[in-house]
Amino acid sequence: MPSDNQVKTFERTATGLVREISAFRTLVLDLMFTSPVFMFVFAILGIGIFVGADMVVSTLLALLIGFTTAGMYALLSIAYPRSGGDYIFISRILSPPLGFMVNFVFTIVNISVIGTEAVWVSTMALGPMFSGLGAIMNSSSLASYASVFSQPVYIFIIGAVVMLVFTSVMFFGTGPTFKIKSVLFFVAVFSVIVYIAAIGLTSTSAMISNFNHLSSTSYQQYSGIVTSNGLPEKFEVVPTLFGTIYAVLALAGFTISSYTGGEISNPKRSQFVGMFGAPIIYALLMMAVLAVSYSKFGYSFLTGISYAALTGNKLYTLPIPLPWMNFIAAYALDSAPLMIVLTVGLLCTLFAYMLTAIFASTRSLFAWTFDGIFPMKLAKVNEKYHVPAYSLAVIILISLVFIYLTVYTSISAFFTYVVLASSFGLVVVAISAIVFPFRKKDAFNSAPRPVSSKIGGVPVISLIGVAGLITSLLVGYVAMLPAFIGVFTFEYVYFIIALFVIGIVIYFVSYGIRKRQGFPVDKLQKEIPPE
């Protein structure tokens, strides 16, 4: 219930959003934002960059790291069950400009990835699928279609159309949106299970024979790269520890439900189900994928082919930039149906990310607007569908711009250090969790049991915040190692810093304008927004 002060401060006493996102829908939201089928890509990157890494163990370690982030976000989302996620946490516990700055950067990063994933619809999914089908079915006409998906104009048109089609459903409410998202969820997860079963039930000798038949380079040549390049010939501890960074990247995104906190029913239960369930499911699937791949393909082959692709070795001749495991599987089983199923799973993952990123980003913009940072027109909610339609339209337009920029410019390169940016943001969230019981004593004491719990007199949320602070700093450090980022590029770092600066500038310019208009910004941003 809003306080008397809330009624006087906020322009309206209810946001207009409806709590209709169940625990299952929260799980779907969080899991699909992590993009399940991308594990085929992240696993190969971890194997090839940190040679000697046992990515099964790396994934388990990443899951443990993820638990600290999940704990912070879940408890803070329960304490502040409103849309806007870390913007609400940080702004109410630490300071509004800091909260806006961090949330602004997170939102821009999320939207920028929409541009990348719209491009990947053609370059990672459709193009490679037709190349693979052409080889498997010995059809030059099918293979020729792949070239269509490498042309910028078609990449842009396909990406833009897909994004517009899937996001248009959001104007008709949360229900239809999550029905589509649930279908994408089941198809994507099914495709991963198909991979595990198909590889697990096929003999290594049969896969080697099929791969050698379809690939211009043999299985044995790729396996030999390990020895000829003096690479580790077995799993080692240090690479495994560093390989955790790619497993962390694979798992990232499972806290996205905090951005839609104002629409989640029973947040005390649903946020825990989503933020802990999503990384657990993802990690278990990824460990199963890696275990069966190591068992059937062999350590030397996976290491050799990924290392060859990443280093530009002339032996690497597959018609895709990197030897994604789903593509290798289709070659190894000489199966067109498997190629199609795994590509459809990848497409569903791409579609779901775009849908989720825009859904969550809209709620961030809505939260900023409701706090007076932008004109209240953007916080207007459609009475029939309970959707912030103006905010949604703005985010969709910005997403179109990013798709265009990704296709026709090198802007995606400037987001090279987003892991560092994310780590900084998580550090701020961790500090918020640590100091919450002390800076907001009334809110802490009146919060539901999980949030207000203590161990030996010390607030659990503070302990989890300390763990989150340590892991965020470690991830940020590892993400800056040469093995991970290659040659250090200062202009990309400056770009990330510029995003934070832009966030602060936007906030204070808006603050000054709203103050001159007589808008009660200071009072409003001290209150918890109404439901």
Query: Considering the domain boundaries, does residue 531 fall inside one?
Result: no
pTM of the shown model? 0.89
- Domain of 335, in residue numbers: 4-524
Query: Considering the domain boundaries, does residue 314 fall inside one?
Result: yes
Give the number of C-alpha atoms closer than 13 A to the C-alpha of residue 502, restricted to the C-beta side. Answer: 12
Query: Considering the domain boundaries, does residue 472 fall inside one?
Result: yes
Query: Considering the domain boundaries, does residue 529 fall inside one?
Result: no
Angle at CA of residue 430, ends 424 and 432, nearest 5°: 110
Contact 212/31 with Cβ under 8 angstroms? no
Specify the CATH number for the domain of residue 14. Answer: 1.20.1740.10
C-alpha–C-alpha distance, residues 143 and 405, integer Å: 28
C-alpha–C-alpha distance, residues 234 and 223, integer Å: 12
Which DSSP symbol is given to 51? T
Q: What is the mean pLDDT of residues 52-78?
A: 93
Query: Considering the domain boundaries, does residue 278 fall inside one?
Result: yes
Q: What percent of the chain has pLDDT over 90?
A: 56
Cα–Cα distances in angstroms (integers) from residue 43 to residues 46, 52, 82, 147, in the given order: 5, 13, 35, 27
Residue 21's φ and ψ, nearest 5 degrees, are: -95, 110
C-alpha–C-alpha distance, residues 159 and 400, integer Å: 9
The pLDDT tens digits of the residues spanning 121-157 come to: 999 999 999 999 998 998 888 888 888 898 999 999 9
Query: Which pLDDT band, with edges at 50, 70 and 90, does 373 fall under?
Result: confident
pLDDT at 494: 87
The pLDDT tens digits of the residues spanning 464-522 come to: 999 999 988 888 877 776 655 566 677 888 888 999 999 999 999 998 988 888 877 77
C-alpha–C-alpha distance, residues 112 and 402, integer Å: 6
Lowest mean per-residue pLDDT among 45-54, 198-207, 290-299, 476-485: 476-485
The pLDDT tens digits of the residues spanning 234-281 come to: 999 988 988 888 788 788 889 999 988 878 888 889 999 999 999 999
Q: What is the mean pLDDT of residues 287-313?
A: 94
C-alpha–C-alpha distance, residues 229 and 518, integer Å: 69
Tally of domains within the chain: 1
pLDDT at 196: 96
Residue 10 has pLDDT above 70, yes or no: no
Query: Considering the domain boundaries, does residue 530 fall inside one?
Result: no
Positive/negative CA dihedral, 44, 45, 46, 49: positive
Contact 71/466 with Cβ under 8 angstroms? no
pLDDT at 508: 93
Query: Considering the domain boundaries, does residue 467 fall inside one?
Result: yes
C-alpha–C-alpha distance, residues 30 and 256, integer Å: 6
Query: Considering the domain boundaries, does residue 502 fall inside one?
Result: yes
